[in-house]
Chains A and B, each alone.
Chain A
Amino acid sequence: MADLTMPHVDAVIIGFGWTGAIMAKELTQAGLKVVALERGPNRDTYPQGAYPTSIDELTYNTRSKLFQDMSKSTLTIRHKPSDQAVPYRQLAAFLPGTGVGGAGLHWSGCHWRVTPEELKIRSHYEERYGKAFIPDEIPLQDWGVSYEELEPHFSFAEQVFGTSGQAYKVNGEIVGPGNPFDADRSTPFPLPPMKNPYSAELFKQAATEVGYHPFSIPAANASGVYTNPYGCQMAPCTFCGFCSGYACYNYSKASPNVNILPALRQVPNFELRAKCDVVLIETDSTGTKATGVIYVDEKGNRVTQPADLVILGAFAYNNAYMMLLSKIGTPYDPTTGEGTIGKNFCYQNENSIAAFFDGDKFTNPFVGAGGNGIACDDFNADHFDHGPLGFIGGAPMWVNQAGTKPIGGGPLPAGTPSWGSAWKKAVKDNYTHVVSMNAHGTNMPDRENYLDLDPDYTDYLGRPLLRLTFNWHDNDYKMANFMVDKMGAIAKAMNPKAMKVSAKKPGEPFDTRHYQTTHMGGGVIMGTDPTKSAVNRYLQSWDVSNLFVVGSSAFPQGLGYNPTGTVAALTYWSAKAIREQYLKNPGPLVPV
């Protein structure tokens, strides 16, 4: 172990998931010499996705082959600021990634665009429902960027990901049976929508019957042969059902590894270093300029990597973690509401219904793809009148049949014992005869949901762990129950023999033992006011102008949609600002 200093580069990227890969591609195209540092190991379709060894639920999903190495690091969790936090010791509620590709290697593939009104959520709600509608404890704020500004980047990200879907409106013209709530698009999806498994077909019929507007979920799972603008190729999805938690064996699921890295490998001004765990972003004596990063490599060397530009593209909450460790920006204080780093941690609020059918109706839930399915958006975002409802936010509802595997198990009828003959009979009778539906809801920020550094627990390098203070609040419970009521109408229209509704009950705490989603956000949020946001509208740190922090960390609130499509668009938006504005005149892109 030694202290080493590497040759200077133009830009260093922390983390090589979607954001790191997109930034690497954009910045190398701009001629910069770029080094990307990934804390985890090298990973690719071969060997991590190779058939048949990748079709192994125990090794991959149950034993976390592609997830964060918990023995080295985790975060601590508590429900409120007065509680003692304890470590999240076993992966369950959320599954952060590690390694080349990050969570983008093991994600599902639902590929959405945030709605225009959600980007200006405070202004929108105040305008439609009045200023008193948003409670004081919900620190909603606008993102500082509009849908129109992001649209070209949504479009390009879909081209890069090879996304399958049906557009509704392109350049003002209705082009087909897409999502009628969708904003205007400049391009159709590059691939047609995926086919529907039987469950999704049942959902589509039932949702239509009750007057909702079903459409195909935009999926970054290829419905056909595809070559993206970088020359990277995809093959048609086989519906194997091994997406989420797995590396696709068939080059069908978009990932940084399949859709960007092959192109980057051809570029001489790019270098990817795996097993390099960044411990600090270094700043100069003024604290306003980053001089590079310090990381620990595989051999335990402490390495300084000088750079003119630092891109922080770690997993969602790890962006706030790195900011806190590096003492950049002012940590958020929940008692005063001041400070920005760690503020507005947000998540997702998922609630579900299972509909059970007789033994002669096979739904075959092992057939599927991560982004596959049918959704309806009638109760997402602000597509419905919140006035009398008393909550903010919404949820897309869907059958997103991603491949139910037996260890994780499918839903069982209410009252089924968890072991013994009756359990076994229930598994046998229901595994291939159930339709699972989810309301994949928003999670509004709360003054008491935030991130800071834990005072007690440390990781394998002796760094303090990140501490998450998070709980569900009234807004979440109200929304959960509204959503399962609306979704229940769809389920009933399927005429099942039984239904099981799982919705958060008022007062029920955040439970780390059961999977929710891995769609966390906030902590380094974007905005227009440096006292209320950590980065400006270009994802540039207000405090250190040669640092850009990209990812769902920028979201001021948790979306109903899966975050990746919006994360990718924001990253391209930020990259464009760097290329067209920052590199010509390094400094703050928005006056502080």
Chain B
Amino acid sequence: MPDTKWTPSRRAFLLATVATIPAVTLSGSLLPSGSKAFAADQAGYTPVFFTQSEWAFVNAFVDRLIPADAEGPGALELNVPVFIDLQMGLPYGYGKLWYMGGPFRTAAPSLGYQLPYAPRDIYRNGIAAAEQAIQQAYGKSFTDLDATTRDEVIAHMQKGKLAMAPVPSDMFFGQILQNTHEGYFSDPVHGGNLGMGAWKMIGFPGARADYTDWINQNGAQYPYGPVSIKDQGI
């Protein structure tokens, strides 16, 4: 299991401060959404894989994929970037879970991923290429764009319309979105979903794994909060 025993004390302080701001103002600019200042604020955790500028990019990106708002926690609050950084050090990050034999050919999208890049390469190449394309279009780094403009850029990327190579923007977007969902919703033992925040928001009981007394309660809400593998002494 990855070691996640770092203490996010400064972040916790910052979030506590933010929590006193009325919820309605929390979306977008008031939360320090992925600005360089905020990314650097995750000082309690030093990224292992990402460089400082890549870390800022990932923070600014996932913050828009799952923003903090009155509905529930955002990706940054739940340490999604930490999760992604830790994943890059695992066999998954090195592409060991994928068939990576060549030749690599262009194929119909429905035949799936066909590039020679492992997740580490996708992030390293993708962030550099995206930043370059964004600099050209906006004259700024992605991390310096306001939230609305970042959303516009991400929407372009999702449609494959941000010209970047060798990793196309829609593919790069898909990789980050997938890892963001994973970091948001997986057991906290993997470094994300801090405090099981995402599970609490949607009502998933986590690793309870025994609903013998709750198979059918005729439409009633399950009464117990989630538990993590971590809570079970692992």
Contact = CB atoms under 8 A, between A and B. Distances in A.
A238 B209 CA distance: 7
B22 interface: no
Given A361-B219, A409-B181, A84 B105 contact: yes
A74 B215 CA distance: 39
A337 interface: no
B215 A196 contact: yes
B215 A424 contact: no
B13 interface: no
B219 A363 contact: yes
Nearest to B222: A364
Contacts of B72: 424, 428
A362 B202 contact: no
Contacts of B113: 89-90
A97 B13 CA distance: 46
Interface size class of A (residues with CB under 8 A): 35 or more
Given A71-B98, A513-B112, A418 B158 contact: yes
A90 B229 contact: no
A136 to B, nearest CB: 27
Nearest to B185: A406
A34 to B, nearest CB: 32
Nearest to A77: B111
B19 to A, nearest CB: 18
Given A57-B187, A71-B97, A407-B185, A367 B105 contact: no
Interface string B197-224: 0110111111111111011111111100
B12 interface: no
A347 to B, nearest CB: 14
B16 interface: no
Contacts of A432: 202-203, 221-222
A425 B232 CA distance: 30
A345 interface: no
Contact of B219 (A53, A70, A90, A198): A198
Interface stretch (A101-109, A504-512, A552-560): A504-512
B189 interface: yes
Nearest to A72: B99
A362 B221 contact: yes
B182 A240 contact: no
Contacts of B98: 70-71, 89-90
A379 interface: no
A509 B219 contact: no
A51 B107 contact: no
A416 to B, nearest CB: 14
Contacts of B210: 238-240
B3 interface: no
B152 to A, nearest CB: 12
Interface stretch (A58-66, A297-305, A566-574): A58-66
B186 interface: yes
Interface stretch (B35-43, B59-67, B124-132, B135-143): B59-67
A56 interface: yes
Interface of B: 27, 64-67, 69, 71-72, 92, 95-101, 103, 105, 107-114, 151, 154, 158, 177, 180-182, 185-187, 189-190, 198-199, 201-212, 214-222, 229, 232, 234
Given A198-B218, A366-B204, 13 more contacts: A53-B234, A55-B229, A62-B186, A71-B100, A73-B99, A86-B107, A89-B113, A196-B215, A196-B216, A367-B215, A424-B67, A425-B71, A428-B72
15 contacts: A52-B207, A55-B207, A195-B216, A238-B209, A238-B212, A242-B209, A361-B219, A362-B219, A364-B203, A366-B204, A367-B215, A419-B177, A428-B71, A457-B103, A512-B110
